[in-house]
Structure 1
Amino acid sequence: MEDLLLGQAKKLVQAMDKTVDDNLPQHIADIVKFHSKGAAIAALASAWVPGAGGIAATAICAGFIWTMYGKIGAEIDLPISKNILKSLASGVVTNIASGIVGVIALSTAFSIFPGLGNIGASVIMGGTSYALTLASGYVYLKIMTQLFSKGIDPTTLSEQELKNIAKTVASDSDVKDVIKEAKEEFRSKNEQGEFKYSQKL
């Protein structure tokens, strides 16, 4: 997972001709990982809310993605307006999340039952939020790389144009691989206790 993320960050930095800063790709990858972990921890906690956990976790996840896009933009000196960032985040999430709507519904159903149901819901939503945020970061890096490679300034595009690009990029087969790897990574880290504190909230 780290290799895919860092590789895409390097491509973006090269496309923007910012290769003077050798640390920039790692900083960008770290922003994505930090927000993915934050979304997972928040989702693990919110999924304990009976009957509404999945919906709450999804809203929290969207907030982490929007903030992540803003941080990456600041890191690469790309001043995209908040409205366009929100719109782009919405476009990316909508296209990625279409394949995991059933997971959110399942999590909401689980959270209605106390005890084991809440545990199941929190783990499902934690993994889903982690994967969705990580994949959204990856898609954002791919979108920006494509634009800069073609000499297109993202700030000159309309919200709809950015959403259309997001739809195309989010359907790439490697994005599905990123989601799959991210879910496996979450499972492994969760078993190792990396998210243990959050489950006690």
Structure 2
Amino acid sequence: MVDSLPALLLAGLTFTVPLTLLSFTLGLLLGLVTAIVRLFAPAPLVAIARLYVWVIRGTPLLVQLFVIFYGLPSLGILLDAFPAALIGFTLNIGAYSSEIIRAVISSVPRGQWEAAYSIGMSWPQAMRRTILPQAGRVAVPPLSNTFISLVKDTSLAAAITVPELFQTAQRIVATTYEPLILYIEAALIYLAMSSVLSALQVKLESRFARYGGFLEARA
């Protein structure tokens, strides 16, 4: 177990962490665009956004990864394992985060829009300076949960040969024949990462709560 720990940690730092951070960042941007389209865009674009969310949320993530990595080559689209996983996780996070963002933007009172317009703000200014800051505070808990789930979901990338933490554990098992020890070790590393992120989430939520109370007191 001690001998395998450095290899597992290196795989986590080299593949699991970058895959998580890149997928979440890109997925969050995609989710924001999708949410704005569904709330404010013309009907044809809304239909496309709804179709995207419906397909991604209605199919398993593992199947999506297989379609991208194993299916697209039949159309002449060849992707390495890491980019394929990045695309798959980004699309998945984008669909789920778009629903969160759409809900929190919709929860901002209409009076906030009217107040922004009354002082001469344009729509982009109102969105950037008034709506998104308020919506972001509400979105922190669900988006944080999505991020923590993504850390664990990256283990599915092992199925398309990404040498992340879990696949590294599988490779070591193939030579040591100690599956129980190795898989428990991998599980403990995931547990440690999730625990750290959960603690950071609590602090972040507390900070945003204090900030929100300050704004309400000023108002």
TM range (shorter): 0.3 to 0.5
Q: TM-score, normalised by structure 2?
A: 0.36
